[in-house]
């Protein structure tokens, strides 16, 4: 600790040698940490570093007994078996996706599942009073009768925090609270967090954004691969050191493909601005331009809320909100308002969530042919034999492991489902593939195989835009990567500069 402080604040929670294993993976191992009152502790780490597991254990979401190691709260053993018990003990978790009922009023949301009652009926007056008290306590000037859905995102988040604080909180956990917030909204949030700190509440702040972390945190804990790799006073560590600890010692000698093979531009995007579908004035992506060459694998890297997914969906005409800007395919200006127009121009998209991309109840064959059947005159008959032939060929080529072409797609593993989606676009010979978080939930072996498929296809002239928050993967497979931060281009990396560390640094350094 800093030398000018004689007294060390008392710890609220102390963990000793926490280890939790999920089938096949060690989510966290041997985590010992103490969280002190009146202190903001930031936990940093890449996806899969174990941050979520740790905070979920503290919040009782993983019940005591499902992990080894010990927890102490204010010196006494603490073994919550569910979230309710942890909450009662004073741990409040505000998750990334805040859980509110937008149709209900602020008061109803604040008292949700804890409604004051009188004679067995909800005491509406007392509920309003309780909500009013909670809002006042947190200095939020909102009418408790406002419908929750009418508030902006930041205010909703503040209401959720107020709700959490209404229950005598000792430890407040904020899981990536600023991912969906604008700069100003984030500042408002930090303001409140500082006030709580002054009241002696311990705060855990999970984030990727180094700028924010350094402005708000007193202490920075870095996790990687389930372990703690650094525990610093925020004033005593540099950003570069933190990034290094997040990424680890990387042996970065992936052979990059020679530039100058084929260089004609395949897809060019100029000045793309994408607006929020609900709040049409809020720009999620601003003035973003990039270019993909034929046969190039381009990565689009950014943290949650950076706007990468938005870019992918709007190029494809699948974004639900408004967007402006120019798209050029092979040098020709085109307009794409709907997915079918994108497909006609040779684009194909792999959805972020495989449940959005596949028809789980239908066969592998049917899933491969969806895009083919979506084109052409509806009354044109289907040449089933020819379709089965090409489906069978693709199954072999991509090495899709399924009982048969008629196996239901949901019975396949994640990696094979991914390949079925790729096959769908190969059937109609798509030239540009946009992949959104393509290997999420795919195991390591299958991942390598899928990477090989991409590289093979790119060598045959297909272009890839891979939107991912997995820096390691992008550094490995991409020819070039663009990093986004808060809806804007933060930088571009290629050749030897394209490393996991550089990606993370560019994305978090804001």
Partner 1 sequence: MADKSVTMNSELNTNSRSRLDILTSSMRAPRDSMLLLVLAAVWLFFYFATNGTFLTQRNLLLLALQTSIVSLAAINAVTLIVTRNFDLSVGSAVALVGVILALLTVKYDYGAVIGVIAAIAAGVVMGVWQGLWVARIGVSSFIVTLAGMLYFRGLSMIATNGATIAPLPDSLTDLATGFLPRGPSIAVIVLAFLGYLLFRLQDLLRARSLGLAPQLSSDLARIGAPAVMAALLCIWLASNQGIPYLVLLVAICATAAEVLMRRTRFGARLYAIGGNPEAARLSGIDLKRMIFWNFVIAGFGYGVTGVALTARVSGAIGGTAGLFLELDAIAAAIIGGTSLSGGRGRVLGALLGALLMGSLNNGMSLMNVPIFYQNTARGAVLLLAVAIDHLSRTRPV
Which residues of the shown chain bind partner 1 in the complex (CB under 8 A)? Answer: 316, 318, 338-340, 342-344, 349, 351, 355-362, 366-367, 369-390, 392-397, 403-406, 410, 424, 426-429, 460
Contacts of 377 (CB under 8 A, 6+ apart): none
Report whether 259 contacts 432 (CB < 8 A).
no
- In the complex with partner 1, which residue's Cβ is closer, 8 or 278? 278
Minimum CB separation from partner 1 for residue 416, in Å?
14
- Residue 72 φ/ψ region, left for φ over 0, alpha for ψ in the -120 to 50 degree band, beta for the rest: beta
Radius of gyration (C-alpha) of the chain in whole angstroms: 25
- In the complex with partner 1, which residue's Cβ is closer, 92 or 313? 313
Minimum CB separation from partner 1 for residue 381, in Å?
5
DSSP H or E stretch at residue 48? none
- In the complex with partner 1, which residue's Cβ is closer, 5 or 361? 361
Rounded to whole angstroms, how far apart are CA atoms 485 and 499?
17
- In the complex with partner 1, which residue's Cβ is closer, 67 or 365? 365
- In the complex with partner 1, which residue's Cβ is closer, 143 or 406? 406
How many other CB atoms are there within 10 angstroms of residue 333's CB atom?
Answer: 10
- In the complex with partner 1, which residue's Cβ is closer, 153 or 318? 318
Minimum CB separation from partner 1 for residue 391, in Å?
9
Minimum CB separation from partner 1 for residue 435, in Å?
12
Minimum CB separation from partner 1 for residue 440, in Å?
16
3-state secondary structure of 261: coil
Q: What are the CA-CA distances from residue 496 to residues 2, 466, 499, 502 (Å)?
A: 39, 19, 7, 10
Q: Which residues of 401-426 are buried (b: 16+ CB within 10 A; e: fewer)?
A: ebeebebbbeebebbbbbbbbbbbbb
CA angle at 447 for the pair 25 and 489, rounded to the nearest 5°: 105
Report whether 311 contacts 304 (CB < 8 A).
no
Minimum CB separation from partner 1 for residue 429, in Å?
6
Minimum CB separation from partner 1 for residue 325, in Å?
21
Rounded to whole angstroms, how far apart are CA atoms 166 and 468?
38
Take residue 216 and report the two structure tokens written for it: 């708000």
- In the complex with partner 1, which residue's Cβ is closer, 4 or 361? 361
């Amino acid at each position: 600790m800093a030398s000018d402080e004689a007294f060390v604040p008392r710890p609220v929670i102390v963990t000793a040698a926490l280890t939790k294993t999920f089938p096949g993976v060690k989510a966290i191992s041997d985590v010992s940490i103490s969280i002190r009152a009146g202190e903001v502790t930031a936990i940093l780490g890449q996806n899969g570093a174990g941050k979520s597991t740790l905070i979920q254990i503290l919040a009782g979401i993983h019940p005591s007994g499902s992990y080894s190691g010990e927890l102490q709260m204010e010196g006494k053993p603490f073994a919550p078996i569910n979230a309710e018990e942890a909450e009662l003990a004073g741990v409040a978790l505000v998750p990334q996706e805040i859980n509110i009922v937008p149709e209900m009023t602020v008061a109803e949301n604040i008292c949700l599942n804890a409604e004051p009652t009188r004679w067995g009926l909800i005491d509406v007056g007392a509920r309003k009073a309780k909500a009013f008290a909670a809002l006042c306590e947190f200095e939020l000037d909102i009418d408790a009768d406002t419908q929750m859905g009418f508030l902006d995102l930041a205010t909703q988040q503040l209401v959720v925090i107020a709700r959490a604080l209404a229950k005598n909180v000792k430890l407040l956990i904020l899981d990536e609270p600023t991912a969906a917030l604008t700069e100003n909204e984030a500042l408002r949030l930090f303001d409140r967090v500082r006030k709580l700190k002054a009241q002696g509440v311990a705060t855990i702040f999970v984030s990727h954004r180094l700028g924010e972390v350094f402005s708000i945190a007193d202490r920075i804990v870095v996790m990687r691969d389930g372990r703690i790799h650094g525990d610093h006073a925020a004033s005593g560590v540099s950003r570069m050191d933190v990034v290094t600890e997040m990424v680890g010692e990387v042996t970065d000698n992936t052979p990059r493909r020679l530039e100058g093979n084929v260089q004609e531009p395949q897809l060019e995007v100029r000045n793309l601005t994408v607006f929020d579908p609900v709040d049409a004035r809020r720009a999620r992506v601003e003035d973003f331009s990039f270019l993909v060459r034929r046969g190039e694998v381009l990565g689009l890297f950014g943290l949650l809320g950076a706007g990468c997914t938005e870019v992918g969906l709007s190029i494809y005409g699948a974004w639900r909100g408004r967007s402006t800007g120019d798209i050029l395919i092979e040098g020709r200006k085109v307009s794409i308002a709907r997915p079918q127009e994108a497909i006609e121009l040779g684009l194909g998209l792999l959805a972020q969530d495989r449940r959005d991309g596949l028809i789980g109840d239908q066969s592998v064959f049917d899933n491969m042919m969806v895009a083919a059947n979506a084109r052409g005159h509806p009354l044109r008959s289907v040449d089933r034999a020819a379709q089965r032939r090409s489906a069978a060929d693709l199954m072999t080529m991509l090495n899709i492991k399924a009982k048969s072409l008629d196996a239901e797609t949901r019975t396949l593993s994640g990696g094979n489902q991914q390949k079925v989606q790729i096959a769908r676009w190969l059937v109609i010979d798509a030239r540009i593939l946009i992949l959104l978080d393509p290997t999420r939930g795919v195991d390591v072996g299958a991942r390598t195989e899928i990477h090989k498929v991409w590289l093979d296809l790119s060598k045959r002239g297909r272009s890839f835009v891979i939107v991912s928050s997995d820096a390691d993967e992008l550094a490995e497979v991409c020819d070039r990567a663009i990093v986004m931060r808060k809806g804007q281009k933060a930088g571009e990396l290629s050749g030897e500069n394209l490393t996991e560390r550089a990606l993370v640094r560019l994305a978090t350094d804001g």
